[in-house]
Amino acid sequence: MTAADYLPVTLRDAGAFLSRELAPFPGRLNVMLRSMLTSAIVIVVSMALEVPELALSLLVVFYVTQSNVVVTRLVGVMFMVGSTLAIGLSILLLKFTFDYPLLRIVIASLMFFGSVYLLRVLKIGVVFFIVAIVVIYVQSFVDQTDQADLLIRAVLWVWIAVNYPIALTLVVNTLLLPAEPQLQLKAEIHRQLVTLDARLTQLIDGTASAAPITLAAVQQGALTLQKLLRFTTMRDANYREHQASQLACIATVSRLYRGASELPLSWPGVSAAQLAMLRELRANCRALDDSVMTGEPYRYVSTATPEERNAADTIPAAAESQRALRAYADLVTSGAAAAGKPPASEPMVAPDAWTNPAYTRFSLKTLLAVLVCYVFYNAVDWQGVHTVMLTCLIVALPSLGASTQRALLRLSGAAVGSALALFTVVFIVPHFDDIVGLLLIVLPVVAVGAWITAGSERISYAGLQVMFTFSLALLGEFGPTTNLTEIRDRMVGILLGVCVATFVQMSFWREGEGDVLRQKLATLLRAIAAQLRPSQAGAEKGDDLPYAQRQLQAWAVLADCETTLSRVALEPAWQEGEQSQLTLRAQTVLAQGREIMLAGDALRSALVAQAGSSSPHTIDAVQAAQQQASAELNRYAEELAANPPDAHAPRRIEVAAQAVEPAQLADRPLIAAADELSRQIAGLPDWRVDAPVAASASPAVRA
């Protein structure tokens, strides 16, 4: 036993979570370097020219620096538009209401309410998020001075502090360290194909050097390919014109990567025909990689005889990879996907923008929390905690679980940043008094914050808070600082804001995501049911690519369900029993859904491999079981989507009993695969109110 085994389970789980979230992945170092370089330039410029609000400038750098140049430019433009609109509205507000405090607060509240409403209903809601932030932030300026000219100067300096870092960030991301999505997509495809190449080489040479591929890695790889293809089509007109063929390519690569995860680690007693088949598969894997890198059409490389090629049936994963490559080669040769229709774009305004009362309620709740905090910090005359208002807006998200997640990340990030700032101010700052020393102090913290920010949404916001809280305490003046009250005030303001916002969210028009989660789980089960439906006779070959694309979509829906479940699990509730039941049942559905996908894929591969050796009666019985399983999943999904849910656990399908003749030796693998699918479907939980809740025994990775 190791020392970690003696730690509490909670600490071990937290350590495992942090090790996963902080682990390096392709592109993370690039994001960190871009953030560090831009931050260093901004620090030098702001200190040399005495541009105020340096902490705000660094925060903008972190927000605008994204995973690739497409998203960076999009976010940068929206921030410029939003900040300009916000500053203009704030100046107009001050011009007409500076001498009338009550009128100023009323109009500012109306502007804030409208901005938060548009934040929810518009696709470009981030613009109005900035408007809301600036409008409420300017009110703290008014409380600090009664001189109008100083107030206007402070507001205009905010515009400069926001927009010049955006310009610098765009220059750095475009010229110095560009992250083009086309190159990122090719690099990810190359990584997955090289992994398959290594696994095939391991089988051919009899070595055991390649690391196993987990199911979580397969899912993440499929999602990464979809995301990068979306960014690439936004960037490159050629990719937009051939989007259907590009989608077929990433579906094929994802299918090959999935096959690589199922290949055995070793293959003792391999025959010469099987080795020839593996070499041909490796040659085609490399040919596909070269095709992606050069842009040339892919052509299937034949190096084995038909008899040797048929040896792939002895390994279902190899046979599946072979069919995937042949299907894609046939598609490229026929040009069937050359002129695919691009998917419809999302509407700019939410379809229910003017009819759904949830948007108005959300805006009212956020406004109420902000006004309560505004009255509080003015009543106690504690100007240092004005971040209490900003916190109410920052943690205001559509669901209570998402708000709680954001609040926890804000608190944890601010705590780490404050601790680092406290240590720096007490022990390090007294020994430095020039810009070089300042960079040596600040850039390591910027690097840590950027590394965390480049991670998943489960942890990324904490990185922003680490950097922002640290810079607020250390970079508030144009010289060394020894003021510790700033650190205390920021933490108090954030803590009070989180408490007020959470209380308001829980007390008025509570917006949980439990019902949304059930609807998404139903969508996932319908997607899996579509995969389970047997192909028409003679259509298996033509269904290879559509099946792979449906599998990609199912992975995306599964990841969305996992993200939603992680937020639902964080929702505070007055009745913990109902919340825990919902969470446990949803975890079971997700775990079983993943296992059903695996079992359905294995059954499909077995049907293709056993088509010539199994009896027609057995094949008909297995296909009937597939159809019945698909119908059961659809039925379960409809009952799960109902309110209240009335989904009862599916009954197990007896496949062997449906076969007219006794199962022969050649039929047993097929029947076993069908039985496994039936067993996994029967493991779905019962959602009726009086049904007992049991933890899933599935070994699948949970969210």
* Residue 118 pLDDT > 80: yes
C-alpha torsion sign, points 412, 413, 416, 422: negative
* β-bridge mates for residue 349, sequence order: 122
pLDDT tier, 138 (very low <50, low <70, confident <90, very high otherwise): confident
Give the pLDDT score at 3: 62
Cα–Cα distance measured from residue 161 to residue 153, given in angstroms and rounded to the nearest whole number: 12
Tell me the pLDDT of the chain averaged across its residues. 83
Give the pLDDT score at 702: 36
Cα–Cα distance measured from residue 318 to residue 605, given in angstroms and rounded to the nearest whole number: 10
pTM, to two decimals: 0.81
Tens digit of each residue's pLDDT (9 = 90 or more) over 345-371: 667 888 888 888 989 999 999 999 999
* Residue 658 pLDDT > 70: no
pLDDT tier, 46 (very low <50, low <70, confident <90, very high otherwise): very high
Read off the amino acid at residue 136.
I
Cα–Cα distance measured from residue 671 to residue 615, given in angstroms and rounded to the nearest whole number: 11
| pLDDT, mean of residues 296-323 | 82
- Give 590's contacts (C-beta < 8 A, 6+ positions apart): 521, 524, 558, 561, 562, 565, 700, 702, 703
27: region left, alpha or beta (phi > 0 left; psi from -120 to 50 alpha) = left
Supply 546's token pair: 């559509």
* Residue 336 pLDDT > 60: no
* Residue 9 pLDDT > 80: no
Assess contact for 424 and 472: CB atoms under 8 A: no
Assess contact for 367 and 112: CB atoms under 8 A: yes
pLDDT tier, 696 (very low <50, low <70, confident <90, very high otherwise): very low
Cα–Cα distance measured from residue 659 to residue 655, given in angstroms and rounded to the nearest whole number: 7
Give the pLDDT score at 108: 92
Cα–Cα distance measured from residue 191 to residue 691, given in angstroms and rounded to the nearest whole number: 46
399 or 667, which is more confident? 399
Give the pLDDT score at 574: 53
Assess contact for 616 and 548: CB atoms under 8 A: no
611 or 186, which is more confident? 186
* Residue 689 pLDDT > 70: no
Tens digit of each residue's pLDDT (9 = 90 or more) over 388-401: 888 888 888 878 88
